[in-house]
Amino acid sequence: MGQYKILILGATGLVGQATVKALIKQKVSVTAGVRDISKAKELMAYGAKVIQANMGFDQQKLVTILSKFDVLFIVTPGHADRINLTVNTINAAKQANMKYVVMVSDTSAHNYESIFGKQFGTIEQELKQSGLSFCILRLPIFIDNLWGSMETIKYQNIFYGPIDGNKKYITVAVQDAALAAASVLTHPFNHVGKTYTIYSDYKSSNELASLYSLALGRPITYKNIMYEGTKQTLLKYLPEWYVDGYLELYKLIEKQDLSQILCSYDFKNLTNQSPTTHLNWMWQNFKYF
């Protein structure tokens, strides 16, 4: 274990940071590539080596950085220009003779008529055609997005969303995405050319309300405020292109598109662990809600 020199780009984000921590917990040496070193204090305190690396650096600068590593984890950024940033990084990895690349994608990646589907579909194609040895981790909606409902759950006992509360859909806990990524990064050549779907739970919003009620010991309800209501709420925190892309995922859930409902055994197969259900997640974090 740990014989590869691993670099994680996008290491200050949710998935990147959790993956760095998962690897360090397994005593695997890892380097975190961050845009702004001042944001990496927690990673350093945890024991990660930290370097400055930007997916938007010019090719030669990026090639020089990547040449020092064997295995690269591209945590695709939630950035409007993520196609160009990621393709720039894939091209640099190729020039740097990177042995292996793991990349975060989205379960909607095949869905070219949606914003995220087009972005992730395009970068998945680029990676597949690059000639690099690769593995793609497709993620559905994060359980951790529930942090965005912390105030309304805490003060109103309600969480809001844009769809019918009976529609079931898959979600992933960031900690599970990180464990799956750590498993691939430490044994990359067991997973060449694979595309995995990492999900943790499959529930409807009404089922989640019952589980949160159980975990918190008081009644929590789900309220459908439709797309426009949800959009206006999310626009307070996120750019419009991202909100529109995110709401398209809920339209796919309403249609019960396979990208939002297909359960796989990939997490269990990769980690040999049980996933973090919504109930587990709420038990872990109940004091904040």
Ligand X SMILES: NC(=O)c1ccc[n+]([C@@H]2O[C@H](COP(=O)([O-])OP(=O)(O)OC[C@H]3O[C@@H](n4cnc5c(N)ncnc54)[C@H](OP(=O)(O)O)[C@@H]3O)[C@@H](O)[C@H]2O)c1
**Least distance CB 39 / ligand X (angstroms):** 5
Task: Look at phi and psi of residue 150 and say left if phi exceeds 0, alpha if psi is from -120 to 50, else beta.
Answer: alpha
Q: Could you say whether residue 104 binds ligand X (CB under 6 A)?
A: yes
**Least distance CB 140 / ligand X (angstroms):** 6
Integer Cα distance of 149 and 161 in angstroms: 10
Q: Which is nearer to ligand X, 135 or 139 (CB)?
A: 139
Integer Cα distance of 200 and 173 in angstroms: 6
Nearest to 178 by CA among 2, 13, 1, 5: 13
3-state secondary structure of 158: strand
Q: Could you say whether residue 54 binds ligand X (CB under 6 A)?
A: yes
**Least distance CB 217 / ligand X (angstroms):** 27
Quick one: which H or E segment has residue 94? helix 82-95
Using the rule CB under 6 A, which residue among 31, 32, 66, 77 binds ligand X?
Answer: 77
By the 8 A CB rule, do 237 and 162 touch?
no
**Least distance CB 211 / ligand X (angstroms):** 18
Q: Could you say whether residue 32 binds ligand X (CB under 6 A)?
A: no
Q: Which residue stretch of 21-29, 32-40, 185-193, 212-220 sits at the interface with ligand X (rule: CB under 6 A)?
A: 32-40
| Residues touching ligand X, count (CB under 6 A) | 26
Integer Cα distance of 81 and 83 in angstroms: 6
Binding site for ligand X (CB under 6 A): 9-16, 35-36, 39, 54-56, 75-79, 85, 104, 106, 139, 141-142, 145
